[in-house]
Chains A and B, each alone.
Chain A
Amino acid sequence: MSTESVEPIIKIRDLHFTYNPQSETPIHALKGIDLDVYRGDYLVIIGHNGSGKSTLAKNLNALLRPIEGDVWVEGMNTRHLASTLAIRSTVGMVFQSPDNQIVATVVEEDVAFGPENLGVPEDELRERVAWALGVVGMLEHHRRAPHRLSAGQKQRVAIAGVMAMKPDVLVLDEATSMLDPSGRRDVLAAVRTLNDEGVTVIAITHFMHEAIEGNRVVVMDAGQVVLEGSPRQVFARVEELRDLQLDVPQTTELAYLLNRRDQTFPPDLLLVDEVADEIEKRVSRRAGS
């Protein structure tokens, strides 16, 4: 399929955003972003604090609007105020702190809150809530009180609440940063399932090993996109990432450092098993020779 024939679900052209533009100390958070997100993408945005990634996320569903440039969501321009509701029902967002996103005292009521307000009829509402809780693996907890859940479980309820509104795109703004390793694993598994079901995912994170989850990685620095590609392409550029004061996953760093000692060792390995397989292959080849 040629790319011209496929319209991106989100199209961003020369996006600029400034906080406090009228003040003496305006903060230029985004300085000319061009980005296309395609249906079914799992796009991961990384960058250090203050690089502009959260500002970019908020521009995706008209929580913020461009100062210059344009953002189109399914062809709707976010500057067009009348489209706001349609844009927000296309692009759902989940934020960092699960506690700030839970509104009801029972899990299933919390998940039903969004679609209920959209006027979804009773029967379909039930169906959607069951589907959303099932996808994130929280169905068995549907009658529980959210405050009794772990942070990872709460975050999965928050994702279910957004998904029950059936958005085409799910944006996660550092949604795992307050979770422990098992909570993070569960949330990532839920997001993976949603992406497999066709939901377009845009995930913003500090954790480099989470970037491996995506099919595309965008690296931001000082309000601009500075690197873009598949996780393998991006993480192979260890030196550039270092210059941007970002980490690389430990596996990639290991492969990169081994490559510096022996240039035949591939520098662009991402997964634990890939590194182990490569070492095993070399050990057995030598044993055989």
Chain B
Amino acid sequence: MSDGPFIWLNDLHHVYLRGTPLEVTALRGVSLEIHRGESVGIIGRTGSGKSTVVQHFNGLIRPREPGKVVVDGQDLSDPRVDVRRVRQKIGLVFQYPEQQLFERLVGDDIAFGPKKLGMERAERRERVKWAMEVVGLDFEAFKDRPTFSLSGGEMRKVALAGVLALQPEVLILDESTSGLDPRSRKEFLDRMLALHSGHELTLVFVSPSMEDMAELVDRIYVMDDGRVVMSGTTREVFSQPERLREHGLGVPQVTEVAHALIARGIRVGQVPVTVDEGVAEAWRILNS
């Protein structure tokens, strides 16, 4: 199975509050796959179903017939499968992760997962230390701080360290940068990218921000109304601004500039998705 996708979703349907007057259909047949070592984006407007999809990745929501979810060769539609082992492999960080903190002290909060796995005290300490270093929290300075005394940004780091302490193979960030200012957001995303390249961590970003996506992911799935409506490399997806607009999304401003140039009859080579690419392409156009 090592060559197959690490996460494989096929024809997933989901209805919240099924059989009640408040019934809402969230997914209408979603298929997608995530391979080991990839960085993949799932984008879509509010209510498009993206959060419902990622909650299937680690068994928070189990698939119903005829849908299938297979994670690292394990079929999660089989009720006998132990989802705890799956959750160890797949870490999920939600929007406002600081609300996931519950222990009184920072160190205890981060150690909670490893403790539940039955890890020895010394090993646990090493794990916590490692996870804190990865997210940029000094171990000695922060381990005995009360969690409630932290700033919002620090709380996020603690929540993330708590997930990383389980050393997942896949990390899913579900709008985890929402509400952070530009500096904190960049710091946070740079750390994620470092883990991705340094530790071969597979990343899944769920976000409505096109600018973030352009910097972070290789591939994108666009969702709308419970379906995958577009997919491809970041560049392929961003080269269709009209379709994205129909689905309530936009493209990064620098991509908009390229499309505005094309509309003016100017030949653009590769459509840029980041500012650096935009400068290079504009410079080429100005000097060719």
Contact = CB atoms under 8 A, between A and B. Distances in A.
A, B assembled together: yes
Interface of A: 47-50, 96, 150-152, 177-183, 206, 208-209, 245-247, 249-251, 253-254, 257-258, 261-262, 265, 272-273, 275-276, 279-280, 282-283
5 contacts: A47-B181, A180-B249, A245-B181, A251-B257, A275-B260
A246 B182 contact: yes
B194 to A, nearest CB: 19
Contacts of A258: 279, 282-283, 286
B20 interface: no
A262 B286 contact: yes
B272 to A, nearest CB: 9
B47 A150 contact: yes
Given A251-B257, A276-B261, A181 B47 contact: no
A209 B252 CA distance: 11
B145 to A, nearest CB: 14
B264 A272 contact: no
A206 B182 contact: yes
B211 A254 contact: no
A254 B184 contact: no
Contact of A273 (B46, B184, B260, B275): B260
A24 to B, nearest CB: 13
A182 B225 CA distance: 14
B285 A250 contact: no
B275 A257 contact: yes
A180 to B, nearest CB: 4
Interface of B: 44-47, 151-153, 178-184, 208, 210-211, 248-250, 252-254, 256-257, 260-261, 263-264, 266, 275, 278-279, 282-283, 285-286
B279 A180 contact: no
A280 B45 contact: no
Contacts of B264: 276, 280
A257 B280 CA distance: 10
Nearest to B249: A181
Contacts of A48: 181-184
A80 to B, nearest CB: 34
Contacts of B248: 180-183
Contacts of A250: 211, 252-254, 275, 278
Contacts of B182: 48, 206, 208, 245-247
B275 A279 contact: no
B32 to A, nearest CB: 20
A49 B286 contact: no
Nearest to B264: A280
B260 A181 contact: no
A272 to B, nearest CB: 5
Contact of B46 (A50, A180, A245, A272): A180
A254 B254 CA distance: 8
Nearest to A207: B182
B205 to A, nearest CB: 15
B250 A181 contact: yes
A272 B256 contact: yes
Given A272-B257, A279-B285, A49 B46 contact: no
